[in-house]
Amino acid sequence: MAKQEIVRSTPRLSRLWQAGQDFLGVELPIMCGAMTWISEPKLVSQMSDLGAFGVLAAGNMPPAQFAASIDETRALTDRPFGANIIVIAPNYQAHLDIICEQKLSHMFFAGSIPRQSEVQKAKDSGAKVICFASTDSIARRMIDYGADALVLEGSEAGGHIGHVSTTVLLQEILFRFDEVPIFIAGGIADGRMIGHLCLMGAAGAQLGTRFVVAEECGAHARFKQVFMKARSREAISTPQYSSKLPVVAVRALHNEAMEEFGRLQLTLLEKLRAGEITRPEAQYEVEYFWVGSLRRAAVDGEVETGSLMAGQSVGLVNRVQPLREILTELVAEADGALAAVETRLRGGRVANAEAGRSGQARAPGVGRHGV
């Protein structure tokens, strides 16, 4: 297969994110987060071909289809990529078996906390294991279980989220744990943020919402249009109506699907009270709702009734771009931010630039406050 020319890092960035480069085996330790119905073989392979890191989303895919997706991605790229499996998905155990059988180089446990034996099973297959941490206690447990790296994901992220913001998690986790590489996710769409996160000690970053509007992303055009028109404050998290039905919060743009989810919770709570359904069955109904609802929006373009899972960084996304252009821009912004910091540390002034990502000229790495 013909290899694409990769997007190159810079000497400044490589000094800071080398741990991420080495861990992922890539030029750019920028990961495309696993988004169900969106992070499919073509997008994943193109991310990896450009020197970044693609991650397949298993969701609750039928096992045979998931195995075929890994095979298809391998046929499209010979560069490293990973797969994300959801601990609470009904097909989770089958997905874990497939990853181990396929000898995938990197795998992500998401959605909940895996058992230590499951982490070890993945490691025994030769995979590097990455776990998500939405609290400091989870970070500690995952490291103790043998995780090779963490993704610190704040509540600004889209899809299933925790309850703590990225800025607090940086202080709780990034500044306190140094045993494994830590990647940052949640609310990131600008390379300047990536540069500053690496200055803080991050090994790299994971973005999702920004890559939804890539030309190469297979999401429906109406889905992308909604993202480009949305404001950050419109990406809200779902409520939990009762502790009797614990649900993992989901961040999405408000529409009819959000209202329908509220009605579903109330219906399930009534069935629980009447003994017509068990709590695990009710939780399965919740996950089944989100998987189907997201497909209606992302694949079929039903943006009024389907789920519009998006992070709060959606307000920073306003145009469709080729994936190469997005990655090139992120690198230029990150490197520019580091250059601005060097200037400040030498006592120099950094000019302000008010231009955004709307196409007007803009000095890479220079923003409203000079970095």
Average of per-residue pLDDT values in the chain: 91
Question: In the chain, what are the domains?
Answer: 11-219+317-325 (3.20.20.70), 223-313 (no CATH)
**Packing angle of the helix pair 191-200, 11-24 (nearest 10 deg):** 80
Percent of the chain at pLDDT above 70? 94
- Report how far residue 117's alpha carbon sits from residue 140's, in angstroms, rounded to the nearest whole number: 16
Give the pLDDT of residue 349: 77
Residue 189: pLDDT over 70:
yes
pLDDT band at 2 (very low <50, low <70, confident <90, very high): low
- Residue 315 pLDDT greater than 90, yes or no: yes
Which pLDDT belongs to residue 320?
96
| pLDDT at residue number 347 | 87
Which two three-digit tokens encode residue 179?
A: 């045993």
Q: Which has the minimum average pLDDT: 54-58, 137-141, 254-258, 354-358?
A: 354-358
Task: Tell me what the mean pLDDT of segment 332-339 comes to.
Answer: 97
> In the chain, helix, strand, coil percent, each to 5?
45, 15, 40
Residue 163 confidence (pLDDT): 87
The whole-number average pLDDT for the span 16-29 is: 98
Give residue 112's pLDDT.
86
Tally the C-alpha atoms within 13 A of residue 137's C-alpha that lie toward its C-beta: 3
Cβ atoms of residues 152 and 173 within 8 Å: yes
Task: Write out the two tokens for 185.
Answer: 């996710």
- Maximum separation of any 2 CA atoms in the chain, in Å: 69
pLDDT of residue 352: 58
Within the chain, strands assigned E span 30-32, 53-57, 81-86, 106-110, 128-133, 149-153, 159-160, 182-185, 204-207, 235-237, 250-253, 308-309
With contact defined as beta carbons under 8 Å apart, do 196 and 16 qualify? no
In the predicted model, what is the mean pLDDT of residues 59-79? 95
Burial label, 77 (beta-carbon count in 10 A; 0-12, 13-18, 19+): buried
**Position with higher pLDDT, 89 vs 157:** 157
pLDDT at 363: 36
Q: Pick from 172, 202, 205: which is nearest to 19 by CA? A: 202
Overall average pLDDT of the 141-150 stretch = 98
User: Is the pLDDT at 348 greater than 80, yes or no?
Assistant: no
CB atoms within 10 A of CB 352: 11
Residue 357 has pLDDT above 80, yes or no: no
The C-alpha angle with vertex 331 and arms to 326 and 334, in degrees rounded to 5, equals 120
Q: Residue 60: what pLDDT?
A: 83
Residue 368 structure tokens: 């409203």
Are residues 54 and 39 in contact, defined by beta-carbon separation less than 8 angstroms? yes
Does 356 have pLDDT greater than 60?
no
Q: Compute the distance between CA of residue 168 and CA of residue 222 in angstroms, rounded to an integer.
A: 34
| Mean pLDDT score, 144-153 | 97
> Residue 80 — φ and ψ, nearest 5°?
-60, 140
Supply the pLDDT for residue 369.
Answer: 31
Query: Phi and psi at residue 33, in whole multiples of 5°?
Result: -55, 150
Contact present, 251 and 157 (Cβ < 8 Å)? yes
Structure tokens at 162: 């925790």
* 46, 68 contact by CB (below 8 A): no
Average pLDDT over residues 115-131: 98
Average pLDDT over residues 198-218: 97
Q: How many CB atoms lie within 10 A of CB 309?
A: 30
Higher-pLDDT residue of 303 and 283 is 303
User: What is the sign, positive or negative, of the torsion defined by CA atoms of 136, 142, 144, 147?
Assistant: negative
Amino acid identity, residue 308?
L
Statement: residue 215 has pLDDT above 80: yes
- Average pLDDT of span 167-188: 97
The dihedral of CA 23, 27, 32, 38: what is its sign?
Answer: negative
Determine the 3-state secondary structure of 83 from DSSP. strand
Least confident of 115-129, 222-236, 278-292, 297-311: 278-292
Instruction: Name the more confident of 43 and 59.
Output: 43
Average pLDDT over residues 38-65: 95
